Amino acid sequence: MSDQAKAPRTFLPPWLKRRVIEIAGWVLLITGVAALVLPGPGLLCLAAGLALLAMRYEWAKRLLLPVKARAFLLASDGVQTWPRVASSILGGLVLVAIGVAWGVGTPEPGWWPAAGSWWLAGGWGTGITLIASGGIALGMIVYSFHRFHGHPLVVPVRKTPMTPRPLRERAL
């Protein structure tokens, strides 16, 4: 057989595949940053975006390890006690419930100062994203519980300070 027959078939030219991976990485990275303060899996999207960008950029490789370590540490801490597990599950279920209420739509309350069209704007588009965020959160809780419950991650303590020494003390 020739080398062409052994090579795996690809549907995208290599230059297009690189661009698609890069664009997906940037979209996931930006979504992850936004989801750190908005409802959604912020660290998960951040880690996924950095993983894709690490295929091309050295800076993304350097950032991926601490983000991944922080995500695993938070996942481990979140399932070590039953109150944490229960509150995490409750938070995920509340997100799903808010998404359903948002999608179904409720009449605006009397105290709402703006026009009625501004009450729960977005309809099912916003509702589905909230439901998906709650579903992802619940899935991550189940994963974290199976992987880390009873086996917490231990982070080594740095023996050296993170701040650099003053210039006069450095060896030249």
In a domain, 111, yes or no: yes
Which residues make Cβ contacts (< 8 Å) with residue 154, sequence separation at least 6? none
Range of the domain at 128: 80-154
Domain final residue, candidates 50, 77, 104: 77
Q: Are residues 138 and 104 located together in one domain of the fold?
A: yes
CA 143/CA 141 separation, integer angstroms: 5
Which residues make Cβ contacts (< 8 Å) with residue 61, sequence separation at least 6? 54
- Which pTM was predicted? 0.62
pLDDT in tens, 35-81: 888 766 777 788 889 999 999 899 999 888 888 888 888 888 888 88
Q: How many domains does the chain have?
A: 2
Q: Are residues 60 and 108 located together in one domain of the fold?
A: no
Q: Are residues 15 and 70 located together in one domain of the fold?
A: yes
CA 59/CA 116 separation, integer angstroms: 47
pLDDT in tens, 115-170: 877 777 777 888 888 898 889 889 988 988 998 888 787 766 555 555 555 545 44
DSSP code for 56? T
What is the model's pLDDT at position 15? 85
What is the model's pLDDT at position 163? 53
Q: Are residues 144 and 86 located together in one domain of the fold?
A: yes
- Quick one: tokens of 122? 């977005």
